[in-house]
Each structure stands twice: as structure tokens, then as C-alpha cells.
Amino acid sequence: MCGIIGISAKADVSNDIMTCLKSLSYRGYDSAGMAMVGDGQISERKIKGKVSNLEDYIKNNPISGNCGIGHTRWATHGEPNTINAHPHTISKISIVHNGIIENYHELKTTLKDNGVNFISDTDTEIISQLINIELMNNKQPLDAFIHAISKLEGAYAIAAIFSDYNNLMIASKVGSPLVFMKSKNKTIISSDAYSIAEFGNNITYLEDGDIITSQNNKIHIFDRALNKIKRPSKRISKRTKDGLNGHEHFMMKEIKEQPDVLSYALSNYLDFTEFDIKENKFDFDFSNVERIIISACGTAYFAGMVAKYWLENIANIKVDLEIASEFRYKKMFFDEKSISLFISQSGETADTLAALKYAKQNKQRVISIVNAEESSISNESDLVLPIFAGQEIGVASTKAFTCQLATIASLVLYLGGLKGAITKEQKETYIQELMHIPSQILQSLEFEQTIKKISKDIYKSSSALFIGRGSTLPLAFEGALKLKEISYIHAEGIASGELKHGAIALVDKNLPVIVLAPDDLFYVKNLSNMNEVYARSGKITMIGKVDNEHLKGLAINGIDIDITGKFNIPIIMAVPLQLLAYHVAKLKNKDIDQPRNLAKSVTVE
């Protein structure tokens, strides 16, 4: 999605920045721009649309300099236009930024109250304004940068240049990716190793909280307390050049991309500036819809299960959920007040496409939720809701699943408002909840080391149970599917309350039981069901609210994800399940990206 590039050298870097922007184009974007420092001033060029538009613009209005930044933007705050495009230049500072600033409204209100005038509708301009104020208070660039970003909440990557310093770049990251490369004559900062692979063979990945400065080709990395630190460089392999960005497997790369891609998926449908729905994205007559029939396969089916829970409990719309391979072979009871919704990552899933055609034959209006806008399912649909996950290479779906949920959540809010099931105030509260999802996923990724240890307790097992209730029941199914897909361990997801009706017979000291117990309506009941397992010596891993008096002294593995909210629980809790499956499969030395017998796009019945 959004892409950052920054280059400092001994010669003009404008052509190099343009080359990198072209390489970043594969991520998806709606505008592009660059800014250069020269002769004590910043020159900026940006435009709505493709990088080719920017290239033509600069040919007619050239800029040059030995230090510059560039950006391809996917709109989050503010519509996609030239004014909202990056970079954002205020007086002596220009920045580019990926991510979402969650406390944008509070910061903007405070700045406006203090007389600051804003040019754009973006959250990014907040950062430029904050740094500019620090510079006006006679702080040096690095101090100004650090003081400004200390006020930010959210997941982000930022790169800045300064008019009074012809060769200075400063950058930092929390959540969003950022790498740098140093060659003999230039320093390059980018959000994507693939975009700069042609410039050298060694690359360094920055970690969250790192601050990097490049001046006159000298690089320093600091922590927030301005202690100098070092990060190891890695030689770029062919796998990195092919898009792995330093990860061992595409699955892990795609897990780690979720804070970014979810930002863009959500911002396509939700206006984070006004906390409202972008109603033009739902160009469909829902006025007489009283029932939605959802159909999908595999992971997409489990996304449909979450959709059913949300649509019924939030939007107050009846939902029938059907496995796509069964859809055509049963009585469906279509009528004029029902519509059919189909979910598919590839848009080519044969069973789902056949179910869609069957629905159309029965005069159903069709909505599809897909990752591939140009696909067979899209072409057959009356309304297409893209999920904006970007290309997913790993066969086991990760970021496509959470982006499906993000898209569904947006649809639920739209329908809930349209049908009068939620108030304007409730809608705003839900949107604020969704806005925090990227940073909450970032926090859940911090449990990876704990999950690695838990994986050692599971990888030798022959079977595993995943249990949940409410909106986490579909996650129990999805967690079990992930584990069996890539580790080949038999796994089963069941409703926690159903344990005593059969599955508890399987419980012994060798059986891993993964309990999904967030702080929701079902929390106490989930604890009771977990104790049923514990009493029978089951090997428990609990994911959810672990900090509880009733759990003290119990010998269980705990991943403490203490979140509340109807929308964020199933999205956030999907991530540790993905990491668990990954690390179990890695311990078993399995082919994680291409597990046996499976295909990414299932185009046969």
C-alpha cells in the first residue's frame, strides 16, 4: 500500500526517487509525490493518480537536489487528491508518512486552538505542523523530530527532510516497515526492500522505536532516549528481491503486513476524519433487504461466520450462512427481500462461483467481497467490495482473512445505520474502535516470542482442540484450519459449551486445547469450560484476558490480549492463531508457503 522512499547522496537524486516510486507502485496507491532540498529551500511536486502522472508533471516542472523524499499514497484521512497527497511541506520541514495517527483529532483540535491553519484533510499534516512548531522554538531537527513523534499514537513510518540542511534525512517507525541501505555514494530509506534492491546488496531493517539520521552519507541510529544503537545489515537474497522483504516465508511477511493493509482496507470504506461511512462505496439498493444469504469456502467461510454474528447482533439483519459447495444442492428459499453475499480471496473459487451463478439464476442480487477486483466473481456481481489486502502468496490465508473482516465490519456499520439499528453516536464509537485495530495488531505481534515457546509444547502432538464462543467461535474453526493446513496436525474447532457433549472425551495430558477467551459476554462461561479441560489435565493455551484472579496458580500458557469491542476482538485475536500455526509448522520443518495437496486459488469443485 503506501510507499516511502528517501535518498541522500552527493549528486542529484530525483531520478533515483522516481525509479523507486515506480517499484513501489505494485503496493497500490491513489496519488504520488516527491520533495527535494536545494539552496536552502524545499521544492515539492505531487499529483493525484499514477506515478506516470507525477513523472510527466516533473518533466514540465523539474526539481533537483541531493536529498529528497517520495511517496505513493493510499488515502486514509482525506479524499485522494493532490492537496492530500504526500509529501506535506510546512515552512522548513517536509515529511512522508505511512500508517494512521490515532489521536489525530485531539492533536488537530489543540493545534487549531493555538492558531495553526491546516492545508489538507490528512492526519499526516499533523506531523509536519508539530515538527515545524518545534523548529520555530529553536530546536535542532533531531530534537524537533523526536518531540513531535512522542505525541503520536498509532502505527506509522515517517521520513523527513529540512530546508536548512541540504543533506539531512530523519526517519522513524512504529508498526509500519522501514529499511535503509548505505552504498558508497548514497543513503536510501524505504518502506519496502524490494523497491531498492537494484541499488545494492545489503539492507538493514529498523525496529519499532528506532530513529535514523542520515547526513552527508553518515548514518546514526538512536532509540527514543537518543542512545546510539546498532542494527545488523543483511545481504539481500533473491528471495528478498522477489518480495519477501527479509522474511523466511511469505506467510510471515503477510502476517506482519496486517497493520498496514488493514489501515488501507478500513480507510477505503470509513472516513476517519469525520468518523463516518463512505456511503458511495456501497452503491446498491438495500432498502427492501431483510435477509442476507452468505456463502464461501474455507477461511472465507469463517469470515462469513463472523459476518453473520455482526450482521444479526449489530445491524439487526437475518443471515443464512451456507458452505458454497453445498449451496446449489439444497432448498435455499430465495425471495425478493433477500440478497446473496459471496466471499472469496481470489475471486475465482469454483464452488463459490457456481453458488453465485445459481443465486443469479434464481434472480438474486449479488454482492461479493474479494481481493481480486478483476475476477470471475467480481464480474458476475452487482456490487463488489474489495478487501485491499494486496497480493497474498502464502497458501494459508492471513491478511486476506482479517481484511475480509475489516470490509465486512464496514458493510455492517453502513447497513446498521441505514436500517436504524445503530445511532450516529454508536456508529462513531464503532469507527473509533476500528481505527485502533492496526496498532492493536501491532501489540499482538509482540507476543511472537511467547508463541514460539508455546509452539514447542504443541508441535509433537497428533491433535489439538480450539474452543470459543460468540464471535470467537469462527476463530476456533479458523485457528484449527491454519494449524492443520501448514503443520498437518489434526485440529478441530468447537463451541466451548459443546465440550461436554462429546469432545471432552479426547482430553488428556497430551492434548493441546487452545481457549479463546476475550473480555466479552462469554468470558466467565469460557473460563468455566476451560476449567473442565484443566480438571482433566488438558494442556491449555489461553488467548484473551489472562490477568484474572480465577486464573492465578493455574499451570496454563497465557497470551494476554485484553481487548473489548464487538469488531476488534475477532480481527485482533486472529493474529496469535496465525503465528501459532506458523511456528508449529516451522518446528515440524514443513513447507509453510506451499503445503501439500493445497492450492491458493481452488478452481475445481
Q: What is the DSSP string of 312-355?
A: HHTS--EEEEEEHHHHTTS-----TTEEEEEEESSS--HHHHHH
The Cα 419–Cα 531 span in angstroms is 41
Q: What's the 3-state SS for 569-603?
A: HHHHHHHHHHHHHHHHHHHCCCCCCCCCCCCCCCC
The Cα 130–Cα 333 span in angstroms is 58
Radius of gyration of the chain (CA): 25
Angle in degrees, 0-180, between the axes of helices 568-587 and 399-418, rounded to the nearest 10? 170
Which one of 182, 241, 525, 600 is the catalytic residue?
A: 600
Q: What are phi and psi of 116, to 5 degrees?
A: -80, 130
Annotated catalytic residue 600:
yes
Closest CA to 131 of 105, 152, 115: 152
Q: What are phi and psi of 326, to 5 degrees?
A: -100, -15
Q: Which residues of 442-474 are buried (b: 16+ CB within 10 A; e: fewer)?
A: bbbbebbebbbebbeebbebeebbbbbbbbbbb
Per the rule left: phi > 0, alpha: psi between -120 and 50, beta: everything else, 28 is: left
Which one of 2, 20, 67, 297 is the catalytic residue?
A: 2
Q: What are phi and psi of 573, to 5 degrees?
A: -75, -10
Q: How many CA atoms lie within 13 A of 135 on its CB side?
A: 20
157 beta partners: 98, 173
* DSSP-assigned letter for residue 118: P
- Return the residue matching grid coordinates 519477501: 244
CA dihedral 523, 155, 48, 161 (to 10 degrees): 170
Per the rule left: phi > 0, alpha: psi between -120 and 50, beta: everything else, 469 is: beta
304, 295 contact by CB (below 8 A): yes
Q: Which residues of 243-274 are buried (b: 16+ CB within 10 A; e: fewer)?
A: bbbbbebbbbbbbbbbbbbbbbbbbbbbbbbe
Annotated catalytic residue 20:
no
Residue 294 parent element (H or E): strand 291-296
Burial of residue 233, with CB atoms counted within 10 A of its CB: 0-12 exposed, 13-18 middle, 19 or more buried: middle
Burial of residue 435, with CB atoms counted within 10 A of its CB: 0-12 exposed, 13-18 middle, 19 or more buried: buried
Closest CA to 334 of 366, 296, 310: 366
User: What residues are labeled active site?
Assistant: 2, 600
